[in-house]
């Protein structure tokens, strides 16, 4: 059985390498094809009047729906195909500009948000800043603008088209939920999702569907460590590093797109287990002083790698799947959580005005490194798993004005409540800056869709 598997794996690898070599040769031939075509067009043949100038019919050319180029038959079919591929590359917009969406600025905009607390019913009370009486609205009139390219406004029709007959899953902590609810509000502007089920404390597991013609599914899976974890009455979490959270992992092959988002729970007190023994603890406290203090960066790296490996191993061999991991989103607490001025800013930071902290930078580095390694591995194996980094750290760090603050409760100031106030300077108002995360997500999906489309056409042609 093992020998057969190895033979099949070797055969698949050779096929992948062969296709990569052929694709490389094709792109090398593109300028030669153009020159060849021009030279032969300029030298008429004595038999040109009898020539058929259309491209011979073939399955490969039909796959690209290539139009006749009107060149003499003496130009080889291979060169014609190469020219055809070049034409389709240009038409499809494949090879879209690879933009660093993480490097940019918040620029003032006269155009407000695409939804509000009236048009979107998915906004939970804690993020409903407008509905809870936040008096200033200036935080709504900023757009993230990358320095290398243009970031398009969110197109709900296009996003729904991309997830048509697909299942997109958000997996992680409450910021994953925050981003999911932003996405649902953006999509609600053109189509209303139908809640199919919800369970768990605070509805931590929910699923929505969109009616035809989209037939799309969107889910949220609560999994703040991505691996198995348990709350305890002793005030710390028990985290089992070598046991993936099956609540999401068991459904991987129902998912077509995955967005992982973790980080903040690693700052909480926790005991980490591996191979049935205590690996160490974080913020152990006096009750667990006999355990070794472990670095949260190593723990986060382990679970990020475990989740990525789980996807790579469980996804069926020939399935295509998109997996984005969101980088760490810093909070903006200023002083104690119960003080009214915990996050009082009313406009974004300018670039360089506020330095990102060491912990936040390391959290980001862990994710970036693990995703880059995973992307390289699956490419070498010829797998159709797309690993992407949804890098939001910088744009999030520059928006201290976008949090609910003490407007997590309705009209708390108008009711004459004098405090102490509970402030939320971690999650984001809806609408708010987090909507930009989904604009970037759409661009990443768009690029993946274009490249997958071209790849399918080339595979049909080369096969």
Answer yes or no: 427 catalytic: yes
Residues in the chain predicted with pLDDT less than 70, given as ranges, are 1-97, 233, 286-289, 336-341, 413-420, 455-463
- Residue 122: both structure tokens together: 């998915």
Question: How far, rounded to the nearest angstrom, does the alpha carbon of residue 96 sit from its chain's CA centroid?
Answer: 17
Task: Give the helix ranges, DSSP H, for 65-218.
Answer: 77-92, 156-162, 174-188
What is the pLDDT at residue 254?
97
Over residues 124-139, the pLDDT tens digits come to: 999 999 999 999 999 9
Helix axes 358-381, 296-314, angle to 10 degrees: 20
Whole-prediction pTM: 0.80
The answer to whether 174 is a known catalytic residue is yes
Only one residue has tokens 């070794």, namely 292
Please state, in angstroms and rounded to a whole number, the distance separating the CA atoms of residues 382 and 87. 26
Instruction: Tell me what pLDDT residue 132 has.
Output: 94
Check: CB of residue 151 under 8 Å from CB of residue 145. Answer: yes
pLDDT for 33 equals 53
Annotated catalytic residue, options 173, 256, 391, 424:
424
Alpha helices in 132-212 (DSSP H): 156-162, 174-188
Each residue's pLDDT tens digit, 46-104: 444 444 433 333 333 334 344 444 444 444 555 555 555 555 544 444 445 679 999 99
Cβ atoms of 293 and 357 within 8 Å: the answer is no
* pLDDT value, residue 4: 43
65-84 in b/e burial notation, b at 16+ Cβ within 10 A?
Answer: ebeeeebbbebeeebbbbbb
The catalytic position among 105, 174, 191, 243 is: 174
Q: Note the pLDDT of residue 69.
A: 47
> CB of 450 within 8 A of CB of 90?
no
pLDDT of 13: 47
Q: Looking at residue 223, what is its pLDDT?
A: 98
Backbone angles phi, psi at 191, to 5 degrees: -155, 135
Residue-wise pLDDT for 267-310, tens only, equals 999 999 999 999 999 988 766 667 888 999 999 999 999 999 99
The rounded mean pLDDT for the chain is: 83
In the annotation, is 424 catalytic?
yes
What's the confidence (pLDDT) of residue 211? 94
pLDDT, position 394: 98
């Amino acid at each position: 059985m093992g020998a057969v598997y190895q033979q099949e794996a070797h055969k698949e690898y050779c096929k992948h390498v062969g296709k990569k070599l052929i694709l490389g040769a094709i792109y090398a031939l593109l300028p030669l094809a153009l020159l060849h075509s021009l030279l032969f067009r300029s030298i008429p043949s004595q038999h040109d009047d009898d020539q058929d100038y259309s491209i011979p019919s073939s399955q490969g050319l039909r796959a690209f729906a290539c139009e006749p180029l009107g060149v003499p038959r003496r130009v080889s079919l291979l060169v014609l195909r190469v020219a055809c591929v070049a034409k389709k590359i240009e038409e499809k917009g494949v090879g879209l500009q690879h933009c660093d969406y993480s490097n940019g600025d918040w620029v003032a905009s006269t155009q407000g948000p695409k939804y509000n607390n009236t048009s979107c019913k998915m906004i939970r009370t804690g993020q409903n800043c407008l509905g809870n009486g936040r008096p200033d609205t200036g935080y709504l009139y900023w757009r993230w603008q990358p320095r290398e390219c243009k970031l398009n406004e969110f197109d709900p029709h296009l996003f729904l088209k991309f997830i048509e007959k697909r299942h997109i899953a958000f997996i992680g902590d409450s910021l994953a939920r925050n981003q999911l609810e932003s996405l649902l509000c953006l999509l609600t502007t053109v189509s209303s999702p139908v809640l199919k089920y919800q369970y768990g404390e605070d509805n931590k597991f929910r699923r929505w569907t969109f009616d035809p013609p989209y037939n799309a599914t969107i889910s949220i899976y609560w999994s703040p460590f991505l691996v198995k974890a348990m709350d305890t009455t002793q005030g710390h979490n028990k985290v089992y590093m070598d046991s993936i959270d099956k609540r999401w992992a068991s459904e991987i092959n129902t998912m077509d797109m995955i967005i992982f988002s973790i980080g903040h729970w690693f700052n909480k007190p926790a005991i980490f287990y591996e191979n049935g023994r205590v690996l160490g603890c974080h913020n152990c406290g006096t009750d667990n002083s006999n355990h070794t203090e472990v670095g949260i960066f190593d723990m986060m790296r382990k679970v990020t790698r475990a989740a990525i490996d789980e996807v790579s191993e469980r996804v069926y061999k020939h399935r295509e799947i998109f997996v984005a991991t969101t980088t760490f989103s810093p909070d903006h607490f200023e002083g104690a959580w119960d003080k009214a001025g915990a996050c009082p800013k009313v406009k974004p930071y300018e670039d360089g005005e506020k330095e990102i902290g060491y912990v936040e930078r390391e959290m980001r580095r862990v994710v970036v490194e693990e995703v880059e390694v995973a992307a390289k591995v699956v490419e070498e194996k010829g797998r159709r798993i797309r690993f992407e980094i949804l890098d939001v750290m910088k744009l999030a760090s520059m928006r201290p004005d976008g949090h609910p603050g003490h407007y997590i409760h309705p009209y708390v100031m108008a009711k004459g409540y004098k405090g102490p106030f509970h402030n939320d300077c971690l999650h984001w108002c809806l609408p708010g800056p987090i909507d930009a995360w989904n604009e970037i997500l759409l661009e990443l999906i768009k690029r993946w869709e274009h490249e997958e489309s071209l790849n399918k056409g080339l595979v049909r042609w080369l096969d």
